[in-house]
Amino acid sequence: MQHETSVAAIGVIGLGVMGKNLALNIADNGYAVSAFDLDVAKIRAAEQQAQQEFGTPARLSGFTDLPSLLASLARPRLLVLSVPAGASVDAVCQSLLNAGIETDDIVVDTGNSLWTDTIKREQQYSGKFHFFSSAISGGEMGARFGPCLMPSGSVAAWTHLAPIWQAIAAKVDPQSGQPVERTAPGQAPVAGEPCAAYIGPAGAGHYVKMVHNGIEYADMQLICEAYHLLSAGLGMAAAEIGQVFARWNNGPLNSYLMEISADILSQQDPLTGSPLVEVILDKAGQKGTGLWTAVSSLQLGCPAPTIAEAVYARAVSNQKPLRQQLSRELTASSDYQVADRDGFIDALESALLCAKVACYAQGFQLMAMNASEQGWQLQFADIARIWRAGCIIRAGFLQQIADAFDAEPELAHLLGASSFADMLATHQQRWRQVVAHGVMLGIPMPCISSALSYYDSYRTAVLPANLLQGQRDYFGAHTFERTDKPAAEKYHLNWSHSPRDLVKVN
């Protein structure tokens, strides 16, 4: 530690799982890295791993104080923060100010920060240093061998960071659209399109990552509901369901989440020999980004029911004692059974695909509405492309989304793209059959069913909100518009008067 080294290209502050692997990835791509953590043991572990992987001289040097770290870096200094979101980010920024950071230096927040906090920080630290942000997806392995990177903030700062970020990002083969895997240290850099693209002004990258995580919540829950329908509805064993998922992964449902779900369902418990999934407690954790996405959709008035239902599903899962109690008191009134087992499995594949389309449509509409509010010019085709590899929701399906936005950059809604409209037309009847079966079986499927309602809502030209507006006007004189008058005109019916006369309010 505290080496007298040649000038390093970049500093990494925070050597937890993500920070250490990010630092090793950068070093693995030929850049000299200076690293810092308050825990000296983490510094030593990172140095030792770098020594083992890269030999002598090591490309990663550890430092136990920030002034020495800053002195080791080329100017303008480039510093990456891998610390918990929230107060820790500001604490490190203040420590860097105390250590002598300069106005031209760049500090990159890579945590799951709330996007509005990122906007505030760029303003707060303006004139002191350049505060930049880059959301990261892909987990531990992604950070080490190729994450999906969503940077935003100053264009000048991005220009300085871009060569490193494009080098360490996951890659996609431009011909096939498939990820180019890199899974071991010391391999030659892989060629392909980097899953790193400048998203927009401050906060944009973290907002896009937040929506990514909301889609991730929904995608995971959709797969879990399919598992539940097959296990509880058809009585299939975990390993058999894993085989079904593995088969689906070779088709339109190809994705990282489908792949790992098949693997999980095939895994035996080392302690009991039972299917591992059956001994895992059914209480799901969450770190908040899915909740932020649902809250943002409500604030914007942008419907994202499948994402919200995925958050609620995790909340319900955590009420285990209450569920256990009520399961003894509340019973299904039907002894319904699915007659055509194979037909149901095929229909479920279609239902899962349709629900996934609706889920992604919700996420992209949410990004579009917030971009309009913030004045951002988001490139949705690029966002879909960088999600094809490195991130948790990586899937072959994303190429089709990118193609849709390439063909029509001003596409109002993903469901309106001809490729998706045709897909839904082909599969929707089986989607409806699955929802009907699930209801009759008494199996909860909040995401699959809410996605269908979302689709049906958008294909319905006249919704019952006319009655709702009548109700609001009746009890609160909230007024209503008429179908036979200009939209700007408001009317109120004097419900308590006789006769009930109509009043034009404006």
Q: What is the DSSP letter of 255?
A: B
Taking residue 386's Cβ as centre, other Cβ atoms within 10 Å add up to 28
Q: Give, in degrees to the nearest 5, the angle at Cα 158 between 154 and 162.
A: 175
Helix (H, G, I), strand (E, B) or coil at 83: coil
Q: Which residues contact 132 (CB under 8 A, 6 or more apart)?
A: 106, 107, 108, 109, 122, 151, 152, 153, 154, 157, 158, 161
CB 268 within 8 A of CB 297: no
Instruction: Kindly state the tokens that stand for 339.
Output: 């007659």
Q: Give the pairing type, strands 10-13 and 179-180.
A: unpaired
Rounded Cα–Cα distance for residues 109 and 15 (Å): 14
Rounded Cα–Cα distance for residues 57 and 5 (Å): 10
Helix (H, G, I), strand (E, B) or coil at 437: helix
CB 401 within 8 A of CB 358: no
Per DSSP, the chain holds a count of helices (H) and strands (E) of: 20, 12
Q: Which residues contact 326 (CB under 8 A, 6 or more apart)?
A: none
**Helical spans, DSSP H, in 375-444:** 380-386, 397-407, 418-441
Instruction: Kindly state the tokens that stand for 117.
Output: 């906090």
Rounded Cα–Cα distance for residues 132 and 20 (Å): 20
287 in catalytic set: no
Rounded Cα–Cα distance for residues 116 and 203 (Å): 6
Rounded Cα–Cα distance for residues 78 and 165 (Å): 12
The strand ranges marked E within 32-166 are 33-36, 60-63, 78-81, 106-109, 130-137, 148-152
Taking residue 135's Cβ as centre, other Cβ atoms within 10 Å add up to 29
Amino acid letter for position 149: L
Point out the catalytic residue in the list 20, 42, 171, 209: 209
Q: Give the pairing type, strands 502-504 and 130-137.
A: unpaired
Amino acid letter for position 495: W
DSSP H or E stretch at residue 493: strand 491-493
Residue 262 phi/psi, 5-degree rounding, is: -60, -40
Sequence length of the chain is 506
Rounded Cα–Cα distance for residues 361 and 166 (Å): 28
209 in catalytic set: yes
Point out the catalytic residue in the list 216, 225, 309, 349: 216
Catalytic residue set: 209, 216
